[in-house]
Amino acid sequence: MTLLDFARGPALEWAAVIFVVGLFWRIGGLIFLARARPLSRNRRDDLWRGGWRMVWSRFVPNRVFRDRISLQFLAGWVWHVGFFVVLLMFEVHILFFEGLFGLSWPALPNTVILVAAAVTAGLLVMLLIRRATQPVLRAISGFDDYASVVVVLLPLLTGLASYAHLGLAYETMLALHLLSVALLLVWLPFSKLVHVITMLPSRYVMGVKFWRRGVEV
């Protein structure tokens, strides 16, 4: 079995299994914990409206915070969008998903994907350096924080290298790309990357809490 066979075969399959089981384990564990229910009267009903409102409103920082955190939010936005554009709109990826799920959709031109991948990777490197040097971020960062950036960065770098035929032989590069994807799948449920699932529910519960007290956020 070649490295590529291993990567596109057992490595990805096992990673997918660990990804699914891990996610169920982590999210299920959170769902099954009991939740406190307040007895005091709400100041405002239709709590779901408060939750829903905050799920959306928190995508953009409020005016009063803009001077201090706009750049950081913008960088976060750009690389997240860039990452998903590359993941979901690159024709080779779409073919892969079609093979897997039988569904397909139109791709974006390769140059757009290339730019998105390069910008995303560049931003991630910058954010990694910022995390290691900016005093606040240094103070709150641990292994998970640094490792998660690297684990997201690897598929982008290996993907760019295989597309551009850089570095090692194409087949080896492709195998490394697939292995990095497998690593991402295995890493996600056990790291802070799980926020892709938990962040919006967390916003929702906070929005409900404020709304119940008559505060719109």
Partner 1 sequence: MTEVVTKDELGEAFAMFYGMAAAIGDMVEPAPEMDDAERVQRAKDTFLHGLDGTFALQLDVCVHCGACAEACQFYIGTEDPAYVPVRKLDLMKRVYQRELSPLRWLHRLTTPEITADDLRAQQTLVYDACTMCGRCNLVCPSGINISEMVHLNREALAAAGLMPDELRFMDDGQAADGTIFGADADLFRFRIEDLEQRLGFAIPVDKESADVLLVTSGLDIHLFRDATGGAIETLTHMGIDYTLLSDAYEGANFGLLSGDVKVQKELTRKLTEAAIRIGAKVVIVPECGHSFPALRWGAAESVGKPVPFDVMTVSEYFGRAVMDGRLTLEPQKHEKPIALHDPCKVGRWGGVFDEPRAILKACGYDLHETDSSRTYNFCCGGGAGNFLIERADPLKRAGYRVKMNEIEKTGAESLVVSCGSCRMNFEVGKVKAGDTMPVESLAAVIAAHLPKTPKEAAE
Instruction: Please report, as ranges, the residues that interact with partner 1 according to CB under 8 A.
Output: 25-26, 28-36, 38-41, 43-44, 54, 58-59, 61-62, 64-65, 68-69, 72-73, 76, 134-143, 145, 190, 192, 194-195, 198-199, 201-207, 209-210, 213-217
CB closer to partner 1 out of 80 and 93: 80
Q: What is the DSSP string of 4-64?
A: HHHIIIIIHHHHHHHHHHHHHHHHHHHHTS------SPPSS--HHHHHHHHHHHTTS--GG
- Could you tell me the smallest distance in angstroms from the CB atom of residue 83 to partner 1? 14
CB closer to partner 1 out of 3 and 206: 206
Nearest partner of 115 among 150, 78, 147, judged by Cα: 78
Residues 198-217 as b/e (b if ≥16 CB within 10 A, e otherwise) read eeeeebbebbbbbbbeeeee
Task: Tell me which amino acid residue 76 is.
Answer: G
- Continuous segment of H or E residues that includes residue 122: helix 110-133
- Could you tell me the smallest distance in angstroms from the CB atom of residue 36 to partner 1? 5
- Could you tell me the smallest distance in angstroms from the CB atom of residue 125 to partner 1? 17
CB closer to partner 1 out of 50 and 159: 50
- Could you tell me the smallest distance in angstroms from the CB atom of residue 111 to partner 1? 31
CB closer to partner 1 out of 39 and 100: 39
